[in-house]
């Protein structure tokens, strides 16, 4: 009976100790505060990688402990990492294409760097709003802006003549 019990126990699933779950919960809440705090500091272009790094630590805690990857067969973590590799290939190759396209053909990138045509009317109304500072009037303006936006969205797009650099 005792031997059958021990065989049974070896097949039992891993039961994570309670303090591990509480620890992860605490760590995730602290890291959420860290994410918010770090974002208030202007690091320029570094803000994005720092935010992604903190988010990845949090995601790692959720995946490894809450999703039991650290206790499970290694196969599952390899599966997850494989999907992340494919995701990286997807995003990086798209970025290669879309961020370097203008080096071959300037006019392809030009419309992306210009503002959409239908903003012209909105900008004029927004400037009026800025000078007038009349909030009672703003509601009517919004409706006017919406109809203008819709009437102009089918207007032919002019290629901006301004150079890129």
Nearest distance in Å: CB 75, another protein = 8
* C-beta atoms surrounding 8 within 10 Å: 9
Which parts of this chain interact with another protein (CB under 8 A)? 1, 3-4, 7-8, 11, 13, 15-16, 18, 21, 24-25, 28-29, 32, 35-36, 39, 45, 47-48, 51-52, 54-55, 58-59, 62-63, 65-67, 72, 76, 79-80, 82-84, 86-87, 90-91, 94-95, 98-99, 112-116, 118-119, 122-123, 125-127, 129-130, 138, 141-142, 145-146, 149-150, 153
CA 4 to chain centre: 51
At residue 29's C-alpha, the angle toward residues 26 and 34, to 5°, is: 125
CB neighbour class for 165 (10 Å; exposed up to 12, middle 13-18, buried from 19): exposed
Nearest distance in Å: CB 69, another protein = 9
C-alpha distances out from residue 69 to 14, 15, 45, 91, 134, Å:
11, 13, 33, 25, 58
**Rg (alpha carbons) of the chain, rounded to whole number:** 27
Nearest distance in Å: CB 64, another protein = 11
Residue number with CB closer to another protein (29 or 106): 29
56 touches 81 (CB < 8 A): no
Residue number with CB closer to another protein (106 or 113): 113
Cα–Cα distance measured from residue 71 to residue 79, given in angstroms and rounded to the nearest whole number: 15
Nearest distance in Å: CB 127, another protein = 7
Nearest distance in Å: CB 1, another protein = 8
Residue number with CB closer to another protein (48 or 106): 48
């Amino acid at each position: 009976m005792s031997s059958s019990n021990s065989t049974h126990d070896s097949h039992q699933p891993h039961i994570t100790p309670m303090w591990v779950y509480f620890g992860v919960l605490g760590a995730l809440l602290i890291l959420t505060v860290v994410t918010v705090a770090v974002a208030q500091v202007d690091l320029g272009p570094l803000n994005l990688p720092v935010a992604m790094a903190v988010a990845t630590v949090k995601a790692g805690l959720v995946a490894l402990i809450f999703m039991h990857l650290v206790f499970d067969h290694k196969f599952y973590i390899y599966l997850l990492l494989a999907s992340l590799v494919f995701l990286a290939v997807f995003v990086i190759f798209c970025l290669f294409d879309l961020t370097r396209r203008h080096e071959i053909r300037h006019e392809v990138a030009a419309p992306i760097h210009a503002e959409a045509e239908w903003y012209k009317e909105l900008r004029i109304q927004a400037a009026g709003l800025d000078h007038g500072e009349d909030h009672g009037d703003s509601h009517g303006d919004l409706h006017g802006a919406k109809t203008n936006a819709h009437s102009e969205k089918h207007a032919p797009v002019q290629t901006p003549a301004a150079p890129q650099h």
